[in-house]
Amino acid sequence: MVPVTGAGPDCSIVGNAIERGYGITHYTDHFGAVTAIKGLWGNGTQYKSAIFELDKSKDQFVDKTYKWGVGPYLDGLFTQSNFGIVTEMTIRLAARKPAFASFFIQLKSDELLEAVIPLIQRVLRDYQGIVGSINLMDKRRMLSMFADSPKGNDQHQIMSDTQVQTQAKNLNTPSWTIAGSIYGSKSIVKVAKKEIKSIFNQIPNKAIFSDDPVILIGNKVINLLPEGLLNRLAMLKKVKGQLDAFNKAKEVMQGKPNRVALKLAYWRHHKGADSFEGKVLSPGKDKCGLLWYAPLVKMKAHSMREFVEFVRKTCPPFNIEPFITFTNLRHDCVDSTIPIVFDLSNPAAVKDAHNCLKKLVTQGCKLGYVPYRLNIDQQQWLLDKESDFWQTVNQIKSILDPNNILSPGRYNPR
């Protein structure tokens, strides 16, 4: 299984590892899965690890399998930086396990957030190595994947609570959805499924597993129905859409990238998301407006609730939908990814989106929500070039790329 993200098959796996991205597959930390790098520094010097240089054998195998090398760890200098170019990267793939099941736990009430967090923590701790990371998404975020924006041509207003409730009712969307996957032998998956189910059963929920008979039969039945019938019966079409998305999400969890998550980027497109239905989605080419806010948050129930309130309060004044996802990296830390989706053809919307992100970042840092990745604008206005950390980065830059030829300013405030 390749360490994939939701960004689809056209995005660079090398670029994502270099950005220290992560995903929901078996190796969640994507740079963690990188075992060897070869490259060139900006000054033209070649980079090979010390182990590679020492190894005089024919296949020089150990460099590829042993991540940390010997001596100072320089591979990391290629990540979130502008010191060099990676020309070769070795990525550890996860072996496909004999059995797999993804799970989707649905919570009806928003108030259950606090109660479910210790349960997610428990699953992550007790099933380390069997369960990958776990995603927790709110209702609006789920709707952005399944529903069409109800605002029609007025793409610069968020959904009212009533609209959210109507859409959620139509599409059976719960307040919170917890998604994860179990990898292992047949019997391990069977036992883990049972135990995970009983852990979440401490609170009211609806659990769906990808290998549940209802899903398997549903897939079979819906695929047998003639296209004409599906088009005539809106409800069936919706069910098919949801099953397709469900199957595609499962594929991503098995390391096969696809475009299922890209629909989100079209939510505010001035042409309307439905005008892209059936087409190969390419948010960059289609001029979608999307910025990310990706802060790390303490995995404590009250901290996560405070964060949710913070996002729900901060985004609407800028006409930005507060879409919330948490990816639980460890049992003590979550990363939240807030997609700021806007109509790129509307200058007011572009301005609002950037101001919203700025407010989230500046206010968030005061509250301890610190982004783990920054876009190129933020790297300039947020990072303090006089600080000890960035001064040291500058000193390294002056040695590895003295003429400043590589991505000037990238993770290197000037």
Q: Which residues bind ligand FAD (CB under 6 A)?
A: 5-7, 11-12, 14-16, 18-19, 21-23, 78, 85-86, 261-262, 264-265, 283, 407, 410
What is the Cα–Cα distance from 361 to 357, expressed in whole angstroms?
A: 6
What is the Cα–Cα distance from 223 to 243, expressed in whole angstroms?
A: 10
Closest CB 374 distance from ligand FAD, rounded Å: 12
Residue nearest to ligand FAD (CB): 21
Q: Between the CA of residue 37 and those of 42, 52, 243, 318, what are the distances in Å? A: 15, 10, 40, 42
Taking the least distance from each CB to ligand FAD, the nearer of 130 and 265 is 265
209 and 145 in contact (C-beta within 8 Å)?
A: no
Taking the least distance from each CB to ligand FAD, the nearer of 64 and 410 is 410
Closest CB 380 distance from ligand FAD, rounded Å: 15
Closest CB 236 distance from ligand FAD, rounded Å: 27
Taking the least distance from each CB to ligand FAD, the nearer of 23 and 413 is 23
Structure tokens at 75: 């591979």
Closest CB 258 distance from ligand FAD, rounded Å: 11
Beta bridge partners of 334: 297, 328
Closest CA to 136 of 174, 94, 165: 174
Structure tokens at 76: 């990391």
129 and 138 in contact (C-beta within 8 Å)?
A: no
Taking the least distance from each CB to ligand FAD, the nearer of 48 and 197 is 48
Instruction: Dump the DSSP string for 204-256.
Output: --EEEETT-HHHHHHHHHHHHS-HHHHHH-HHHHHHHHHHHHHHHHHHHHTT-
Closest CB 95 distance from ligand FAD, rounded Å: 22
Closest CA to 47 of 84, 1, 8, 92: 84
Closest CB 251 distance from ligand FAD, rounded Å: 14
Taking the least distance from each CB to ligand FAD, the nearer of 101 and 265 is 265
Taking the least distance from each CB to ligand FAD, the nearer of 81 and 121 is 81
Taking the least distance from each CB to ligand FAD, the nearer of 78 and 183 is 78
Closest CA to 78 of 92, 66, 88: 88
Closest CB 64 distance from ligand FAD, rounded Å: 17
